Amino acid sequence: MHDLDLTARALAGAAGDPEAVDDFVRGTQRDVWRFVAYLTDVQSADDLTQETYLRAWTALPRFTGASSVRTWLMSIARRTVVDRYRAAAARPRTAAVDDWVEVAERRQDITRPGFDEGLALDDLFGALHPARREAFVLTQVLDFGYAEAATIAGCPIGTVRSRVARARSDLIALLREAEEATFEAAEQRVPLRRAS
């Protein structure tokens, strides 16, 4: 659905059309879920997506159309994630295991067989600075333009461009490090032949 269609469906939904609500959510849910999943984690994405839509419906009467409805919705999603982080930071943290150090030491790394590539990608994105990860996901994964991403992130367009460029550089460096570690681990596993 195009932004104009999405805006029309959102406004019709706010006026009480349940079919329009379904159309709007179906047209945007995938992008919202992916965005909040990249900003947080997959386990929290469903709850944060639902909370984003709840906030959007209560705020819809104040939607002025100054930006596209998708940009407006992603701004709400971003604020929802930020609020979740703030709430989590205010609570004391506890570990659900007896010995968290032992668990961390046993964590599987990329040099072991059977490592899931999806987890590797998640780790790469997780290693990025949050602002760079947000800009990269908005522009490269969710296909927002730089201007829209700047509106969602609440920063100048030049900042978004800079963050995306730095995220690319960081990802390339992280991939090179992972490849070198894999190569070194493979060399250690292969016994050297003795000269006869």
Average pLDDT (139-166) is 90
How far apart CA 115 and CA 46 sit, in angstroms, is 25
Confidence of residue 124 (pLDDT cuts 50, 70, 90): confident
In sequence order, the 6+-apart residues with CB closer than 8 A to the CB of 144 are 70, 71, 74, 138, 152
pTM, two decimal places: 0.58
Q: What is the pLDDT of residue 165?
A: 93
Q: Please tell me the CATH code under which domain 1-93 is placed.
A: 1.10.1740.10
From the centroid of its chain, how far is CA 184? 31
The one-letter amino acid at 181: A
pLDDT over 50 at 144, yes or no? yes
Give the chain's mean pLDDT. Answer: 79
Q: What is the pLDDT of residue 13?
A: 82
Per-residue pLDDT tens digits for 59-72: 888 887 778 889 89
Confidence of residue 187 (pLDDT cuts 50, 70, 90): low
Average pLDDT (159-182) is 85
Average pLDDT (78-90) is 84
**Domain residue ranges in the chain:** 1-93, 98-196
Architecture of domain 98-196: Orthogonal Bundle (1.10)
